[in-house]
Amino acid sequence: MTVLDTIIARVVVIVRGIAMAEIVVQVIIWRSFYLASPWLLWAPAAALAWGVTTMAYLRRRRPGWRFVCVDTAVYAGIAIGAAWCVPAAIRGESGSWLFILVTTQSIAPLWFAPRRLSIPLAIAPGIAFAAGTALAPATSLVTASPRRASLALLFVVVATHWLIRQMLRGRATRADAGLAAADREARDQYVILSENIERREQDRLLHDTILNTLTAIARSGGTPATVRQCRQDIGLLCNTLTDSDITHDRGGACSGPVDAIEAVVGEMRARGLAVDLEIRRGAPEPGTPEPGLVPGPVVAAIAHATREALANVAEHAGTGRAWVTVTVAAPGDAAAPPRVHVIVRDAGTGFDPGGVEPGRLGVRRSITERVEDWGGSAWVRSVPGEGTTVSLYWPADDPGAAPAWLQAAGAAGRGEPGQW
């Protein structure tokens, strides 16, 4: 409805501009009539002044019912009092500037006046036009037939505008109702999505902390390493409950993906896993992107996924060493965020991605979905006996699509990339 009203307001401005031009043209054509009685120019001058004023007003704002009432009153006054100011040869006819002026004015009340007042306000200037023409001095050039035809044409124009208004407003109303319904559905879907993301994050937190700790206790008992792991998990839970995460260390210095992953690597080294960390910058100084350009939730998701990938190496790979490569590359657009690519690999026992049970949460929830929830992609390639490679991308051009090098690896027979 707002768009429709804006368009109609522009149409009113254009139509009134045409009417103003018609007044000027007819005054020039009938200049001998107006030169004989210059005082008759008051009506064209008043119509031009009011028309230009209303056009300037309508270009800036949408008209209200008060404006429409005043506008109708002014045009009705001109219509009833200006019949004497129209040359007798065209007085009362549809080709006169006064008839054109009254006809173009009828659009505004039909569209912008309250429904009960729209038709009375639209026909009021027409009635004033008929009354003014009838009260004007009679001459042999002015007959009743042209006046009746002009009045009938005026009412036909008003009725046509009203029918078009009803049709367009009905469609606009239905479009607004559909848009409101879609907006409500989108809000509902957003609530559902937020709840699902929160539930998945709870699953990840339970898997990364409590389940892993209980598994370690069941395997090794209360060893010092297990006690340290319990303390670390308790700290992670406390940080999560206090709206903190591993992207901010206790001194508040961590502010980007590199700092966060360095903190994760330090934590895993403290747990006994040998981790070789390589940091690659995709742009030399001073073009290196600021770490703060990566949103905090994204940093948290990548860091948590890296932590889980390294935890899987420590617990399941049968090796005590992992390699982590972090690449932060500046984008082509200076306003875009930098690209982050993290690779976690090991030379351990590996596993068969096709043999992972659907109910297992480790890789799917704690790594893949965690990154994809924030617009990234996470892929895992593993072959029994050849180790495992976890790749994290953000932002992803096509979330869920395999990177080109992983597809090439699969085509070369080195194992199909798997995603959960």
Report the alpha-carbon distance of residue 348 to residue 100 in Å, rounded.
89
Question: Could you identify the residue written with the tokens 């030399």?
Answer: 284
Task: Please provide residue 323's backbone torsions phi and psi, each rounded to the nearest 5 degrees.
Answer: -120, 130
pLDDT at 412: 41
Report the alpha-carbon distance of residue 158 to residue 122 in Å, rounded.
7
pLDDT at 138: 61
Task: Please provide residue 393's backbone torsions phi and psi, each rounded to the nearest 5 degrees.
Answer: -125, 140
Which residues, 6+ apart, have CB-to-CB distance to 43 below 8 Å?
Answer: 78, 81, 82, 85, 86, 98
pLDDT at 336: 60
Which residues, 6+ apart, have CB-to-CB distance to 269 below 8 Å?
Answer: 275
pLDDT at 95: 86
Lookup: tokens for 281: 């910058």
Question: How many other β-carbons are positioned within 10 Å of the β-carbon of residue 1?
Answer: 11
Report the alpha-carbon distance of residue 169 to residue 175 in Å, rounded.
10
Q: Summarize pLDDT for 45-97 with one digit per residue, the tens.
A: 999 999 999 999 998 888 888 899 999 999 999 998 888 889 888 888 888 99
Local confidence pLDDT in tens for the 420 residues of the chain:
888 888 999 999 999 999 999 999 999 999 999 999 999 999 999 999 999 999 999 988 888 888 999 999 999 999 988 888 898 888 888 889 999 999 999 899 988 988 888 889 999 988 898 888 888 766 665 555 667 788 888 889 889 988 998 899 899 999 999 999 998 888 888 888 777 777 776 666 666 666 666 666 655 566 666 666 666 666 666 555 554 444 444 334 446 888 889 988 988 888 888 999 998 876 544 444 444 578 888 888 899 889 888 988 888 888 889 999 998 887 665 556 678 899 999 988 888 776 666 555 567 767 888 888 888 888 888 888 888 999 998 887 665 555 554 554 444 434 444 433
Q: Please work out, in degrees rounded to the nearest 5, the angle formed at the alpha carbon of residue 419 by the alpha carbons of 417 and 420.
A: 155
Three-state SS across the chain?
CHHHHHHHHHHHHHHHHHHHHHHHHHHHHCHHHHHHCHHHHHHHHHHHHHHHHHHHHHHHCCCCHHHHHHHHHHHHHHHHHCHHHCCCCCCCCCCCHHHHHHHHHCHHHHHHCCHHHHHHHHHHHHHHHHHHHHHCCCCCCCCHHHHHHHHHHHHHHHHHHHHHHHHHHHHHHHHHHHHHHHHHHHHHHHHHHHHHHHHHHHHHHHHHHHHHHHHHHHHHCCCHHHHHHHHHHHHHHHHHHCCCCCCCCCCCCCCCHHHHHHHHHHHHHHCCCEEEEEEEECCCCCCCCCHHHCCHHHHHHHHHHHHHHHHHHHHHCCCCEEEEEEEEECCCCCCCCCEEEEEEEECCCCCCHHHCCCCCCHHHHHHHHHHHCCCCEEEEEECCCCCEEEEEEECCCCCCCCCHHHHHHHHCCCCCCECC
State the burial class of residue 124 (Cβ atoms within 10 Å of its Cβ: 0-12, 13-18, 19+).
Answer: buried
Report the alpha-carbon distance of residue 392 to residue 386 in Å, rounded.
20
Lookup: tokens for 184: 């409500």
State the burial class of residue 272 (Cβ atoms within 10 Å of its Cβ: 0-12, 13-18, 19+).
Answer: exposed
Report the alpha-carbon distance of residue 420 to residue 417 in Å, rounded.
10
| Of the candidates 402, 273, 293, the residue with the CA atom closest to the CA atom of residue 344 | 273
Report the alpha-carbon distance of residue 252 to residue 149 in Å, rounded.
84
pLDDT at 251: 37
Q: Are strands 321-329 and 339-346 parallel, antiparallel or unpaired?
A: antiparallel
